[in-house]
Structure 1
């Protein structure tokens, strides 16, 4: 079950901000896209939001592209990101019927077959497309069977606001450090637990290193370990924008959970990296290029 969140979870002086965000969220998406135009202009041309990080990531990921092409992708990213921001805010008030129309899971039968076998499924996603809409859409298509791992925020207001936003459609939210305990508790019950698996793993996480977008890249290995320990199945989730405000979500099987994958071979993580790389290359602006994905470097071996 999703966690109830009340205004008592944060200090009273955040209430005006809560009312403002709720008011904005209640506006039609077509109106919110007007605000997205303003956000785009501010981020791309006034604040130049993380411009050095964005351009550096793009140049390293697409060394074959000219500087004109890199700048074009960067502008596309800022427009994409501005749309995603208002779409995420809209989750706070959007109706189930409208979300069903706007975020369609194309092949739900893949998970339904695994649920019928009472298997837990690790759904590996990324910061591509509108990643926040995936979990809410999944909660509508798979009632009481969709959960997501998240990293709690330090600000009490935004923690409460985002919890409520993410759980409105019935999704279960699992703090990152409680992932294993939650999976053990729910063992034997068919359900999906999503993980954003493209986070920047640090040396202390003992990551799996692989070539990703022409760069030596560390990945968390939790999916490999959890699948081996608990017999979880695994799937990749991709999302693409059909047109403004409308998305198609696609699931791809990675592991059926019936055999044990040696975690030290990192087969799930490697498969995830290749599928994500394919999706990014197909639509470069739709990835979160402002994230410092490559801030860690592999330690030299003695």
Structure 2
């Protein structure tokens, strides 16, 4: 099971108080605050603007500089909205969240859970990824966990863990993933993995072309799915209008076939990850402003033997 909430210094609660106060404001008011955040990020501090524009230019070489900068501005507005929506997780009710985030085909996830199968849900930093986990935890109580990277800042590690688990899902540190899966084998659980984080050389990444550049992806789904007889799903999300999202699941290959010859391509050795990348590319092209372009996704280089 996931680790229990850690004991924290008393002043963490004081630091969290302003954020919790904001969370109790109506979303309409928070979106007004998001306007201020947008102007600060895009025109004030110009938060990672160089990274954002460089990522967009590589991802969409067919677009003009004016189009790239327009997507960039739209991204900052989307990002500002996501930031206040994440804060809202500290107070939003399950009923309100269910109105604002809908699963278009929940049966794809529910059926294997009812069969007590393990489900690996492969997600990304698209749309509002934090709301997906919270909504799934509220809809399928006791069946949902999200794997995450522990934050170096201890206060924000505690605060984000509190937000992520408030409506029911468990939060599993990345280094505890295998232990969690072993403990929940054959119990009907879904474990969410964000695969679009930049996997380093030590992470045994699967390298493939992603938005016109080589990118290394965590390949854990292809290793874990056969080991645990798990169903593998892609989760896509799209903002339909301000504060409202639609989430759709798609079944992916469950890992490589046994006994593959050494000469078989890397794509056949990593079918789940490769399929995930292609789904993600299609979703990004459909709504490019809704991807997290501030992320240094391509900071590692492929190493050839």
- Provide TM-score, normalisation by structure 2: 0.93
| Equivalent position SS for 2:79 | helix
C-alpha distance 49-261 of structure 1, shift in aligned 2 (>3 A): farther
Tell whether 2:289 aligns with 1:291: no
How big is the shift at 1:157? 1.8
Aligned partner of 1:176 among 174, 177, 181:
174
Tell whether 2:44 aligns with 1:46: yes
Gapped runs of 5+ residues in structure 1? none
Q: Which residue of 2 aligns with 1:189?
A: 187
| Number of aligned residue pairs | 299
Aligned partner of 1:113 among 108, 111, 114:
111
Q: Which residue of 1 aligns with 2:154?
A: 156
How big is the shift at 1:260? 6.1
| Equivalent position SS for 1:143 | coil
How big is the shift at 1:156? 2.4
| Equivalent position SS for 1:294 | coil
| Equivalent position SS for 2:185 | coil
Q: Which residue of 2 aligns with 1:33?
A: 31
| Equivalent position SS for 1:298 | coil
How big is the shift at 1:256? 6.2
- C-alpha RMSD of matched pairs (Å): 1.9
How big is the shift at 1:168? 0.9
Tell whether 2:291 aligns with 1:271: no
Contact residue 104 and residue 247 of structure 2 kept, 8 A: yes
Q: Which residue of 2 aligns with 1:95?
A: 93
In structure 2, what is the Cα distance between the partners aligned to 1:15 and 1:129?
Answer: 29
In structure 2, what is the Cα distance between the partners aligned to 1:22 and 1:226?
Answer: 37
Gapped runs of 5+ residues in structure 2? 261-265
C-alpha distance 260-120 of structure 1, shift in aligned 2 (>3 A): farther
In structure 1, what is the Cα distance between the partners aligned to 2:69 and 2:121?
Answer: 33
Q: Deviations over 1:181-211 (max 9, x none)?
A: 1101100111110000101011111211111
Aligned partner of 1:133 among 126, 131, 134:
131
How big is the shift at 1:2? 6.7
- Provide TM-score, normalisation by structure 1: 0.94
In structure 2, what is the Cα distance between the partners aligned to 1:153 and 1:256?
Answer: 30
